[in-house]
Amino acid sequence: MSGGQVKFPLDDLLRRDRFPHLWCQGCGLGIILSAFCRAVQEADIDLDHLVVVSGIGCAGRLSGYLNCDSFHATHGRAIPLASGAKIANPDLKVVVISGDGDLFAIGGNHFVHAARRNLEMLVICSNNFNYGMTGGQLGPTTPFQALTKTTPFGNWEEPLNLVQLASAAGATYVARWTVTYTQRLTNSIKKGLQREGFAFIEVVSPCPAIYGEMNEQGSAWQMWEELEAVSRIRDGIPPAEASLDIHERIICGDFIDRERAGYTLRLRQNRDVARQKALASYG
Amino acid sequence: MDEVQRRLAHIHIRSSECKGCRYCVEICPKRVYEMTTVYNELGYRVPQASHEEECIVCRRCETACPDLAIYVKRMGVRFNRRNLSVVDASYQR
Ligand SMILES: Cc1ncc(C[n+]2csc(CCOP(=O)(O)OP(=O)(O)O)c2C)c(N)n1
Ligand code: SF4
Ligand code: SF4
Ligand SMILES: [Mg+2]
């Protein structure tokens, strides 16, 4: 019964000396970490060729628990750092795992342009609807009328739909899951890891300690139950219909799955063409 | 001997890393877990797998544990001339 000396299946993928991790009771980030490790194992990704980059925030701490090359970038700059790694060494498998605030507030523009360029990377966003680490401020995905530290009388802004943004910007794989779909999430991450193009997965993740507390959603388990009750899988529906209403209906599934030449592939092709043209022009 | 035959899993819990979220207790379709009154060094009340013999190795608890503190190890049943014994089966998904 005790797990003291027994080796667990994910141990090789983790920096075990850093456990227990710093996330709060029932926080969805640990479930994302666990699903990611299982996906890496199942997709048979070589740890020596895997790079995981995170920004700043509770989600930003995720890369530090992985036993592979990982970077804790400055706030909002996970995608630029990941882009640099991929462009410098296209053989790498590059993954960004970060929070809604890091990726879509301060880092929003980087996301749009990496998707437009179809940079070959997988971006996983833990969407907990607020800035967890700094005490629960409003962010770009905070639901209308939700209570946060900076909107104590209710949020009057409309949230961003991340699936729609990623689809419109040009991502080649777009999916959304809640952490309650542990197996589907693992399969989806595996799919994203195997893709040579910009893949995006939004993971709706409970933040019981801050967001749940402010919005009186009860215990971690009560948040989980609510997520389960409102989530529905609608694979393949147009992104425009992939709505997210935290208390009414969260549409999950694979929404976009398309082929498009990746950025580093085009970069190499273009470099050869440019070289030839330059040589020709010099005679 | 019936008891031995029915047992499919060994459940390992890293209780020192558990934060007492109760997900395993609530989520298990076979009600294998139960909360104890024991507090770990982190100050959280931890569960135990009181009905391990009921486990069907669906791995719902393992994949849902936010603290990566559960490992459901599948067991194999081996027959030999003298008795029936439970042995570790190689790890499989
Ligand atoms: C340049 C800069 N601005 C602001 C901050 C403060 N800050 C730290 S984390 C964070 C928001 C994190 O939110 P999110 O990405 O949603 O992560 P979560 O903690 O919710 O997982 C902010 C604004 C910072 N560290 N650096
Ligand atoms: S503050 Fe929220 S997001 Fe951060 S570790 Fe705690 S529960 Fe998780
Ligand atoms: S593997 Fe399934 S049946 Fe076994 S303890 Fe976990 S949730 Fe229960
Ligand atoms: Mg957040």
Q: Percentage of residues in chain A with pLDDT exceeding 70?
A: 98
Residue B3: per-residue pLDDT: 47
Nearest to B64 by CA among A98, A181, A39: A181
Residue A282: per-residue pLDDT: 86
Pick A124 or A272 by higher pLDDT. Answer: A124
Residue A185 · residue A177 · CB < 8 Å? yes
Q: Cα separation of A154 and B71, whole Å?
A: 42
Q: Percentage of residues in chain B with pLDDT exceeding 90?
A: 71
Predicted-complex ipTM score: 0.94
Cis ω before A20 (30° cut-off from 0) = yes
Q: Is the pLDDT of residue B92 over 60?
A: no
Residue B83: per-residue pLDDT: 56
Under an 8 A CB cutoff, do B63 and A38 touch?
yes
Residue boundaries of the structural domains of chain A = 9-281
Residue B84: per-residue pLDDT: 56
Tens-place pLDDT, residues A243-272: 999 999 999 999 999 999 999 999 999 999
* One CATH from 1.20.1050.140, 3.40.50.1220, 3.90.76.10, 3.40.50.970 for A9-281: 3.40.50.970
Which of A22, A56, A58, when mutated, tests ligand 2's pocket best, judged by the most ligand atoms within 8 Å of its CB? Answer: A58
Minimum distance, in Å, between the CA of residue A262 and any CA atom of chain B: 32
Q: Is the pLDDT of residue A48 over 90?
A: yes
Residue boundaries of the structural domains of chain B = 11-71
Tens-place pLDDT, residues A270-279: 999 999 999 9
* One CATH from 3.40.190.10, 3.30.420.40, 3.30.70.20, 3.20.20.100 for B11-71: 3.30.70.20
Residue A7: per-residue pLDDT: 96
pTM, full prediction: 0.94
Nearest to A39 by CA among A186, A256, A242: A186
Q: Is B55 on the interface with A (CB under 8 A)?
A: no
Q: Is the pLDDT of residue A212 over 70?
A: yes
Is residue A23 lining ligand 2, measured as CB closer than 6 Å?
Answer: yes
Residue B10: per-residue pLDDT: 94
Residue A74 burial class via C-beta count within 10 angstroms: exposed 0-12, middle 13-18, buried 19 and up:
middle
Q: Cα separation of A235 and A252, whole Å?
A: 7
Q: Mean pLDDT over residues A144-159, rounded?
A: 98
Tens-place pLDDT, residues B25-76: 999 999 999 999 999 999 999 999 999 999 999 999 999 999 999 999 998 7
Q: Cα separation of A25 and A207, whole Å?
A: 9
Other residues' Cβ atoms within 10 Å of the Cβ of residue B71: 23
Residue A92 · residue A50 · CB < 8 Å? yes
User: For residue B81, what pLDDT band results from cuts at 50, 70 and 90?
Assistant: low
